[in-house]
Structure 1
Amino acid sequence: MSLEARRARGTAARRDGRRAEVWAAIWLMAKGYRILGFRLKTPQAEIDLLALRGRVLAVVEVKRRVSLAIALETVTQDQRDRLRRAGATLAARRPGLQDAAIRLDLIALAPGRLPRHSPDAWNGA
């Protein structure tokens, strides 16, 4: 594959990823979440979406895959640990979030299907 083809593929993947994040944010807002940020970079990890509902701060990983099972499998234990630490770091820096319960959620998007939100997707795993 040529360098130009790889760049085009990478550009398309980033565009699709951003689109998926926007759909995920809309889905969460319809469920009563307030979106606090997109693609937040921390020393630990990049958070796709940070959302708040009540006292729950959801660190949301957005995956576009053919099934929820595959989406769940693509997020490794190491990545989950980094995302949890990133969420804790962001919460500690924002006075209104310091006592929020931090939860790691997944939004899976599959072609031709509605988004699937899995709160506490890995149940502490």
Structure 2
Amino acid sequence: MTRPEPAAAAARVRRGGAARRSGRRAEAWAALWLMLKGYRILGFRLRTRLGEIDLLALKGKVLAVVEVKSRTTLAAALEAVGPEQRERLRRAGESVLRSRPGLRGAAVRLDLVALAPGRWPRHRADAWNGG
């Protein structure tokens, strides 16, 4: 087995760090956008045994499990979340709902916030059910 060249490994580490920072910035912008729309943010990068939730937000009786994607278009952002990931997000949201008595009676919904350079964020409620 060959080891990667030190320069290539260092470049990969830099790209990974830049991607994490970019993702965190996108999540912060998405949270701000949702708060301006009246959502209360309950969690960032919430780890569950079923998967990670980028943002967990509440508005009325709707618990929004929000996936944040930074892409060039809304269509590309929607396509970036496959059926397996959507199901994992849905199960993670339902698990959070069961574990927090204060959320009893809320409905779980999968939302998307898409960000693109030079554009306002796009929030798509119930993103994969035509919402």
Structure 2 counterpart of 1:75, from 72, 76, 81: 81
Match of 1:54 among 60, 63, 88: 60
Q: Which structure 2 residues correspond to residues 80-119 of structure 1 after superposition, within 5 A?
A: 80-119=86-125
- Give distance in 1, aligned partners of 2:52 and 2:108: 16
Could you report, residue by residue, the CA deviation over 1:4-42 in whole angstroms, capped at 9, with x for unpaired residues? 000000000000000000000000000000000000011
Distance 2:104 2:95 in 1: 10
In the TM superposition, residue 62 of structure 1 has moved relative to its aligned partner by 0.0
**Which has the greater radius of gyration?**
2
Aligned residues: 124
Q: Tell me, which stretches of 5 or more residues in structure 2 are unaligned?
A: 1-6
* Residue among 120, 128, 131 paired with 1:122: 128
Q: Indicate the residue corresponding to 1:38 in structure 2.
A: 44
The one-letter code sitting in structure 1 at the alignment partner of 2:125 is: P
Number of the residue aligned with 1:8: 14
Q: Please report the TM-score for the alignment, with normalisation by the length of structure 2.
A: 0.93
Distance (whole Å) between structure 2 residues aligned to residue 89 and residue 3 of structure 1: 38
Query: Identity, % of aligned pairs?
Result: 69
Letter of the aligned partner of 2:43 in structure 1? G
1:96 Cα offset (Å): 1.1
Task: Compute the RMSD of aligned alpha carbons.
Answer: 1.0
Deviations 1:71-122 (A, max 9, x none): 0001000000000000000010101112101000000000000000000000
Amino acid at match of 1:96: G
TM-score (structure 1 length as normaliser): 0.97
Give 3-state SS (helix, strand or coil) of 1:70's partner: helix
